[in-house]
Amino acid sequence: GVFPSNEGRGYVLRRIFRRAVRHAYLLGTDKLVMPQLVETAVEIMQEAHPTLKTNKDFILGVLTKEEESFRQTLKNGLNLLENEFSAIKTSKKKSTLSGKSAFVLHDTYGFPLELTQEIAGERSINVDIAEFETEMDAQRTRAKAARKGSATNDDVLDQYRQVLDAHGQTKFVGYESDSCSAKVLSIVAIDESRVEVFLDATPFYAESGGQVGDRGTIRCLSGEIKVSDTVFALPGLRKHVGVLSGEITVGAEVTATIDVDLRNATRKNHTATHILHYALRKVLGEHVKQAGSLVSAERLRFDFSHYAPLSTIEIEQIERIANAQVLTNSDVKNYETSKEKATQAGAIAFFGDKYGDMVRVLEAGDSIELCGGTHAAATGDIGLVKIVEEGSIGSNLRRIEAVTGQNAVDYVISTARTIQKLNELLDTNSAALVESISRKIAEVKELNDEVKSLRSAAARGRAAEFISKSNNGVVIQRVDDLSPGDLRELAMAIRASKEIKAVVLGGVTPTGGVALVAATGSGVTTPAGDLISQAAKMVGGGGGGKGDIATAGGKNASALDEALLVAAQASSKIV
């Protein structure tokens, strides 16, 4: 199937769908139209295409989310476009929308260029594509400059090519061994202590397919390199990055050994990503496809295509299925075969990997996928699989993070400690914890309401005091140690008196800031904001409001008294 996206077939689908939504929007249809269209299409075509009925809820979910998102984009973008069209019509000298405006629509509001062109064309207005491309090129240049510091320069790439041309690809023995003898082919200095080392053979896995590179040591009698990362310098050429102590020279015979504990933890997480992929497809549907991953010793991150947040129930179901696969403790099979045979066996290609005629297949429980990474020997080695986070990373893309093995045990222990601490604080037990917290929240709300009521009563009490000090119906007072909200309540209470035309209160808040409030009585046409606009600038802040109430804040408490004098002058001129 094709999923709405920003590239390839998915983008073609999205453009067709968005055109339909736009025309519905232009016809004045405020309600979503796609759900009803999907219902009708499924009803008409389900006999010819039975999968439409099976996947109707999924299709409805995806297109509903798409329409909701695009309608918001339309609303924002069309408002800006209408302003631009009005300016063009007023000028009477041009009939072209600037490329800069089209770029702002594209870059800031997510408004596709082709949609801007289509709408402009309906008004017989052209779009300056050349200027748009200039803006796009400038953006690419800025992005390139931002990446420049981390880019590999041409001289270093030439060194890598020389190593590859002279010695060929690095022989990888890491599937079978944790350590091996090797010959140093080349050493490239990074700085005074760090180096890049190339070997003829290595057990170190180079970062790829989401799995991080191995760490460990490269040793000989005269020196040692503590390897902090392993990556591909060029396809097939593994680069070991580390700190050199002692002396190791080109041609030296060394022993390369990975950090087995880290590799084992990484293995568990990598195998768990495949089992989670299987569980996600079981719970959410076969539309779920991996869109990226990160597998380290500490945790795993798995990105996948899906149109909605995962509910608590769905996460629980995924965890149950994944852990059921773990508890079978079935052997994990990782072997090489032809791409054709792997496909016939039902293996799923994993994101980010490129495959030749021969591929590596991973069988972990009921999961069968293509993967060139390192994996646990049995599903039981993974231990507990616990999802710790889930969220959105883009349109129709979700991300889960999970822990396994000892990290999962640590997470459970930490969570249990937190629950126990809450039990102690609330003098309850785990079974009654939620009820106890709910009761405390209700009590706090009740107390807050009571405090608010008491503050209002206090404000009314002080209001009488300040009303008695009014001058021609105007009250200007400094009142410290009140929150901005309480100061506003007091101003409103003072204004409630029929004899008050205007009130301005200012004070230093409990947090050390400055708060200003202005309010005008009935019959006064001067906006309340005019009374404190200059005063707000004097205390180093700003704010405002429309009509008969305005608030402002600042940081310069030393200028408050002077600011209130300025507010008093402004209040004397009210109409």
What CA–CA distance (Å, rounded) separates 15 from 328? 46
Among residues 117, 147, 177, which one ends one of the domains? 147
80 in the same domain as 66: yes
215 in the same domain as 97: no
Among residues 355, 385, 412, which one ends one of the domains? 412
- Segment 434-466, tens digit of pLDDT: 999 999 999 999 998 888 788 777 767 788 889
3-class DSSP state of 234: strand
The structure tokens 């491309």 sit at 133
Q: Are the beta carbons of 234 and 166 closer than 8 angstroms?
A: no
Residue 425 lies in a domain: no
Q: How far apart are the first and last CA of the chain?
A: 68
15 in the same domain as 135: yes
Q: 174: which DSSP letter?
A: T
What CA–CA distance (Å, rounded) separates 456 from 405? 56
CATH number of the domain encompassing residue 364: 3.30.980.10
Residue 432 lies in a domain: no
127 in the same domain as 108: yes
Single out the residue of 250, 219, 325, 224 nearest to residue 281, CA to CA: 325
Q: Are the beta carbons of 505 and 517 closer than 8 angstroms?
A: yes
**Alpha carbon distances (Å) from 98 to 87, 131, 297:** 11, 7, 51
Single out the residue of 518, 519, 515, 499 nearest to residue 507, CA to CA: 515
Residue 70 lies in a domain: yes
388 in the same domain as 276: yes
Q: Residue 547, Cβ neighbours under 10 Å: how many?
A: 10
Q: Are the beta carbons of 207 and 294 closer than 8 angstroms?
A: no
272 in the same domain as 390: yes
**Alpha carbon distances (Å) from 73 to 28, 48, 80, 117, 468:** 16, 35, 11, 16, 54
- Segment 527-554, tens digit of pLDDT: 898 899 889 999 988 766 668 899 998 9
208 in the same domain as 275: no
Q: Which two tokens stand for residue 541?
A: 């802040």
What CA–CA distance (Å, rounded) separates 20 from 297? 47
Q: Residue 446, Cβ neighbours under 10 Å: how many?
A: 10
83 in the same domain as 187: no
188 in the same domain as 136: no
Phi, psi of 373 (to 5 degrees): -80, -175
205 in the same domain as 133: no
Domains: count for the chain: 4
The structure tokens 């009488």 sit at 464
Residue 268 lies in a domain: yes
Q: What is the pLDDT of residue 87?
A: 82
Q: Are the beta carbons of 548 and 559 closer than 8 angstroms?
A: no
Residue 195 lies in a domain: yes
**Alpha carbon distances (Å) from 19 to 12, 16, 72, 97, 114:** 11, 5, 14, 21, 10
Supply the mean pLDDT for the chain.
Answer: 88
139: CB partners within 8 A, 6+ apart: 103, 107
273 in the same domain as 403: yes
Q: What is the pTM of this model?
A: 0.65
Single out the residue of 400, 346, 353, 352 nearest to residue 369, CA to CA: 346
Among residues 258, 292, 322, which one ends one of the domains? 258
> Which segments in the chain show pLDDT lower than 70?
1, 92-93, 144-154, 349-355, 459, 543-546
Residue 126 lies in a domain: yes
Q: Which two tokens stand for residue 65?
A: 């989310």
The residues with which 223 forms a beta bridge, in sequence order, are 220, 246
402 in the same domain as 273: yes
CATH number of the domain encompassing residue 205: 2.40.30.130
3-class DSSP state of 105: helix
For 494, the domain range is 455-571
Residue 446 lies in a domain: no
Residue 329 lies in a domain: yes
Burial 278-307 (b: 16+ CB within 10 A, else e): bbbbebbeebbbbbebbbbbebbbbbbbbb
CA 339 to chain centre: 35
